[in-house]
Chain A
Amino acid sequence: MIPEIGHFALILALCVAVVQGSLPIYGAAVGSSTLMSVAKPAARGQFLLVLLAFCCLGYAFAAKDFSVLYVAATSNSQLPLHYRIAAIWGAHEGSLLLWVFILSIWMVAVSFFSTHLPEAMRARILGVMGLVSVGFLLFMLTVSNPFERLIPAAFDGRDLNPLLQDPGMVIHPPMLYMGYVGFSVAFSFAIAALLGGTLDAAWARWSRPWTTVAWCFLTVGVAMGSGWAYYELGWGGWWFWDPVENASFMPWLAGTALIHSLAVTDKRGGFKAWSVLLAILAFSLSLLGTFLVRSGVLTSVHAFATDPKRGLFILVFLAVVIGGSLVLYAWRAPRVGLGGGFSIISREGMLLANNVLLVAALGSVLLGTLYPLFLDALDLGKISVGPPYFDTVFVPLMTPAIFLMGIGPLAQWKKTSLPELATRLRWAFAVSIVTALALPFTLGHWTPLVSLGLLLAIWIVTTAAVDLRERLAHADGSSLLGRLAAMPRSYWGMVLAHCGVALFIVGVTMVKGFEVEQDLRMNVGQTATIGGYTFQFDGTQQYKGPNYIAARGTFRVSQDGRDVTVMYPEKRRYTVQNQTMTEAAISPGFARDLYVSLGEPLDDGAWSVRLYHKPFVDWIWGGCLIMALGGILAVSDRRYRLAWRHKEADVPAATQMARQTVS
Chain B
Amino acid sequence: MKPRHKRFILIGLGLIALAVASMLVLNAFQSNLVFFFTPTQVANAEVPKGRGFRIGGMVENGSLTREGDGLTVHFVVTDLAKRVPVTFKGILPDLFKEGKGVVAQGQLGADGTFLASEVLAKHDENYMPPEAADALAKAKTAGAQSSRTLVVNPR
A binding-site residues for B, Cβ under 8 Å: 161, 233-234, 296, 299-300, 302, 341, 343-344, 349, 352-353, 356-357, 360, 363-364, 367-368, 371, 381-386, 388-389, 392-393, 396-397, 519-521, 578-582, 597, 599-600, 602, 606, 608, 610
Residues in A with CB closer than 8 Å to B14 are: 356
The answer to whether residues A383 and B34 also contact, given A579-B94, A602-B70 and a CB cut-off of 8 A, is yes
Majority-rule SS of B interface residues: mixed
> Are B29 and A368 within 8 A (Cβ)?
yes
Q: In angstroms, how far is the closest chain B Cβ from the Cβ of A360?
A: 4
Q: Find A300's partner among B10, B66, B124 (CB 8 Å cutoff).
A: B124
Contacts of B10-41 to chain A: CB distance below 8 A: 10, 13-14, 17-18, 21, 24-25, 28-29, 32-36
> Are A341 and B91 within 8 A (Cβ)?
no
Q: In angstroms, how far is the closest chain A Cβ from the Cβ of B107?
A: 14
Offer 22 A-B interface pairs, CB within 8 angstroms, sorted by A. A161-B125, A233-B121, A302-B130, A341-B6, A344-B6, A353-B17, A356-B14, A360-B17, A360-B21, A381-B35, A389-B29, A389-B33, A393-B25, A396-B24, A519-B71, A519-B90, A520-B70, A579-B95, A580-B94, A599-B91, A602-B66, A602-B70
The answer to whether residues A383 and B36 also contact, given A344-B10, A356-B14, A367-B25 and a CB cut-off of 8 A, is yes
> Bound complex: CA of A234 vs CA of B29, how far in Å?
28
Q: In angstroms, how far is the closest chain B Cβ from the Cβ of A267?
A: 19
The answer to whether residues A608 and B124 also contact, given A300-B130, A367-B29, A599-B92 and a CB cut-off of 8 A, is no
Q: Find A600's partner among B24, B91, B131 (CB 8 Å cutoff).
A: B91
Write the chain B residue with the least CB distance to A521. Answer: B70
> Is residue B150 within 8 Å, beta carbon to beta carbon, of the partner chain?
no
> Bound complex: CA of A506 vs CA of B10, how far in Å?
33
> Are B91 and A389 within 8 A (Cβ)?
no
Residues in A with CB closer than 8 Å to B111 are: none
Residues in B with CB closer than 8 Å to A344 are: 6, 9-10, 13
B binding-site residues for A, Cβ under 8 Å: 3, 6, 9-10, 13-14, 17-18, 21, 24-25, 28-29, 32-36, 54, 66, 69-71, 89-92, 94-95, 105, 121-125, 130-131, 133-134, 155
Write the chain A residue with the least CB distance to B91. Answer: A599
> Bound complex: CA of A523 vs CA of B130, how far in Å?
37
Q: Find A382's partner among B18, B66, B92, B131 (CB 8 Å cutoff).
A: B131
Q: In angstroms, how far is the closest chain A Cβ from the Cβ of B26?
A: 9
Other A-B pairs, 5, CB within 8 Å; known A300-B130, A357-B21, A519-B71: A371-B29, A382-B131, A384-B54, A397-B21, A578-B155
> Bound complex: CA of A608 vs CA of B122, how far in Å?
21
Residues in B with CB closer than 8 Å to A579 are: 94-95
Write the chain A residue with the least CB distance to B130. Answer: A300
Q: In angstroms, how far is the closest chain B Cβ from the Cβ of A422?
A: 20
> Are A519 and B34 within 8 A (Cβ)?
no
> Bound complex: CA of A610 vs CA of B13, how far in Å?
49
> Are A610 and B36 within 8 A (Cβ)?
no
> Are A386 and B91 within 8 A (Cβ)?
no
